[in-house]
Structure 1
Amino acid sequence: MADNLRTTPLRLRPREHRTILFLGDLLMGIASIFAALETWRRYNFTVLFNDLINSGFGETRAQELAILRADIEVPFWFYLLPVIWMILLVELYEPHVAGSGRQTTRGVAIAAFFGLAAYSLLFIIRQDPSNLPRVGVGAFLFFASFLTLAWRMFFIRIYKRTGQLRRILLIGAGRAGQTLAELYHSLGTRSFSIVGYIDDDVNKIGKSFQELPVLGVSGQLLELIDTYHITDVVVSINGEIQGETFQTILDAQEKGMEVTRMPILYEEMTGRVPIQHLESDWIIRSFVDGLPVSGFYDLFKRLTDILGALVGLLILAISFPFIALAI
């Protein structure tokens, strides 16, 4: 059964999820700029058209003149609004927040409110407020809020449906493991699922700690990974790891399993380092934790291999006629 170990083909880490969210938000911000400019232009056209009609111009003539005069002067800073918008969304890039529809909706609403409040304040203190593009900024905030929220909801749905919702098994049901479990249950929404523990203390087998069961001992690690479709193994053992346990962890990692230490997952969930659970060599281990290849690198490498193979086949196909003539 262990030979059928299941792993996720493309592994995306939290920082890569943040990159995807960053690029998506930037794209939505740029789209909002174009939508706001078009709305601004149409608003100017409508106002000019109505003024010309009220001035006695015919509908056809008024439309022609309104089209000619409806051009807008866009200040340079207006094109920087997507960057400002992303700064307002800075709290929405944490994994446990990005996976929550409720927190995402609240975060986007707060960002829109602060953006509107800041611009209103600028409008009040500005000596010549008539030069400020009220319609353009208002339209941008509307489109940015709507598009960003739609994009984030799409991200959450795809994130949960494509297996990116990680299934984690904790190695060690002691103080460190239970700390993770307690923190896990305190989160309103999670970007992963903790299935349970394994522990070599036979007295803990079958019991639950912090609402998570102890599923077996370290010798059953590979079997449990396959049975529960585990994608990540988190080492939550304080102190020295037994030789048999360490070898089992190496076997799982050799088969493609993602192995992480407890402080790394804790920091991912909270943004803080668990000082009370760090060991004297944590700096060296933190450096080693940064060495595994990212999912983006794996994807790029695979695409490069496919592209190279296609180029080779194309060259071979072109060479066949000449090879046949030579023979």
Structure 2
Amino acid sequence: MFFSPLPRRRPQLPISERRLLLALGDLAAVFISVIIAMRIWTRVSGDPFSAEFILPRSGWFVVLSVIWLLLASANDFFELQIAASRSRTFQRLIVITLQTWVVYIIVFFLAPVGMLPRLFVLYYGIASLILIGLWRFNRPFLVGWASDQRRTLIVGADDSAEVIINTIRSEALSEYDVRGIIGSNNQVGSLITGVPVLGSGADVMNFVRRDRISLLIVTETSRLDAEAFQGVMDAYEAGISIVPMALEYERITGRVPIHHISSDWAVIFLSIRNSDGILDPYPPLKRLIDVILALIGLLMFVLIFPLVALIQRLDSRGPVFYTQKRVGRHGRLFTVYKLRSMIHDAEAISGPVFSSKDDKRVTRFGRFMRKSRLDEVPQLLNVLRGDMSIVGPRPERPEHISRLTEQIPFYRTRLIVRPGLTGWAQVRYDYGSNDVDAMVKLQYDLYYIRHQSLLLDVNIMLRTVRKIASLSGV
């Protein structure tokens, strides 16, 4: 079938490429900032600013670029919703600059005397603050074609359409211009959360042409009728991006929409790094990092343990440690170790229940331990034993697993990987104390399982450090 060409439209980047553009612009500013810092360095020291000076110190370009990418990612600086707000961009930029200085100061005092320049990072920080700020604030003018809203048509007038529309409004409004919905004939003219149903499947190309659509979001691929399927295929052949609703939701939120995916979708997880095979370097490398970090953490914990134990005993009676059965990888039970943060025998009356934000059973010192995650440190023993990893879905109790498996689709899928001390759900979602929260946290856990990598693990660990430093635990 042949069609006349679609009207010319400016190129519009998908979410992943827009985030990449933000990162590339930031890195360009970082490189220029390093050069400026070196120039100031030579002015102060009296050294000539030349290739002979720059080349031996070229490692700074790599080191500061990596530090920037890690800290920016951990602070959501590449999130489009933040990039669209000048005030939030400036706030995050200040925070990342301060964090860079803190990292440098720590390394400076640990490094041999005279190895690192004292004021170089100060020059760099000020220069990067100005240059990255200028780039971010002027991005719409510098690369306006890459900042345009994506003209979007949603194919499917069902609950999934409502979910993706509300998600776009709450988390990515600046990136999408939702023009309408394609539904069935008897739905035409109705509204779904304020967005009109424009036509049926036979009208897809008409509205693609009229509204210069660049993106079709298909809510339920398995439910498309013949006309809608043909319309989607025609749009694809005309160069329009076609994305399933679940995938676009995942890109926007960092969660998997478990109630809006087909029943056989969990099969995808069964082959995702589900073994410790030697062909995939990630599992053994992740395990090596687990062991190293667990040993370092336990050595540090031994130094402060006498003080922690003394304060705990003065605060409340009962044992210092607390053990509990949890469900690990592939459903295997193991004993988890924690510092006791509640009154002794807290569950003697209540039984196994979720801990709540203002749980009266938590002691005074226990509340501090929870906010600082200090009560979780003994679980480094579980990491050494291989029961847990540093990063992964948090382990749940058998009673909760049994109940939630019956209530929430795909819940057992989180048992594909080792549970962790911290996880994607813990750094992206507030403390949860009921089944609704458990469902949302599962969406984050499944996202982690689907996308797990060393970079994501490092991102989660940095976010965890930020949470610990802010005492935002419960």
Query: Which category of TM-score, normalised to the shorter sequence, fits these structures?
Result: 0.5 to 0.7
The CA deviation at 1:148 is 1.6
User: Which residue among 157, 162, 167 is the counterpart of 2:151?
Assistant: 167
* TM-aligned CA distance change 1:184 to 1:10, over 3 Å: closer
Per-residue CA distance 1:9-44 (angstroms, 9 max, x = gap) = 746433333333333222221111110011122234
TM-score (normalizing by structure 2): 0.48
Counterpart residue number, 1:110:
95
User: Which residue among 102, 120, 126 is the counterpart of 1:136?
Assistant: 120
Indicate yes or no: 2:213 matched with 1:230.
Answer: yes
Larger Cα Rg: Structure 1 or Structure 2? Answer: 1
Q: Give the total of aligned pairs.
A: 261
Counterpart residue number, 2:33:
32
The CA deviation at 1:211 is 2.4
Counterpart residue number, 1:23:
24
Structure 1 spans left out of the alignment, 5+ residues:
46-65, 287-327
Q: Map residues 174-189 of structure 1 onto 2, 5 A cutoff.
A: 174-187=158-171, 189=173
Query: In structure 2, what is the Cα distance between the partners aligned to 1:239 and 1:170?
Result: 15
Query: In structure 2, what is the Cα distance between the partners aligned to 1:201 and 1:106?
Result: 48
User: Which residue among 225, 246, 251 is the counterpart of 1:263?
Assistant: 246
The CA deviation at 1:141 is 0.7
One-letter amino acid matched to 1:31 = I
Counterpart residue number, 1:43:
44
* TM-aligned CA distance change 1:137 to 1:199, over 3 Å: same
Query: In structure 1, what is the Cα distance between the partners aligned to 2:154 and 2:252?
Result: 15
Indicate yes or no: 2:214 matched with 1:213.
Answer: no
Query: In structure 1, what is the Cα distance between the partners aligned to 2:237 and 2:27?
Result: 38
Counterpart residue number, 1:242:
225
* TM-aligned CA distance change 1:238 to 1:13, over 3 Å: closer
Query: In structure 2, what is the Cα distance between the partners aligned to 1:224 and 1:188?
Result: 23
Counterpart residue number, 1:294:
none
One-letter amino acid matched to 1:155 = R
The CA deviation at 1:177 is 0.4
Query: In structure 2, what is the Cα distance between the partners aligned to 1:11 and 1:213?
Result: 23
Q: Map residues 197-208 of structure 1 onto 2, 5 A cutoff.
A: 197-202=181-186, 204-208=187-191
Other structure's SS at 1:133 match:
coil
Per-residue CA distance 1:35-78 (angstroms, 9 max, x = gap) = 00111222345xxxxxxxxxxxxxxxxxxxx98xxx99987764
Query: In structure 2, what is the Cα distance between the partners aligned to 1:285 and 1:120?
Result: 44
CA RMSD of aligned residues (A): 3.4
The CA deviation at 1:189 is 4.5
The CA deviation at 1:246 is 1.0
* TM-aligned CA distance change 1:224 to 1:237, over 3 Å: same
Counterpart residue number, 1:196:
180
* TM-aligned CA distance change 1:205 to 1:182, over 3 Å: same
The structure carrying a bigger helix percent of its residues is: 1
Structure 2 spans left out of the alignment, 5+ residues:
270-474
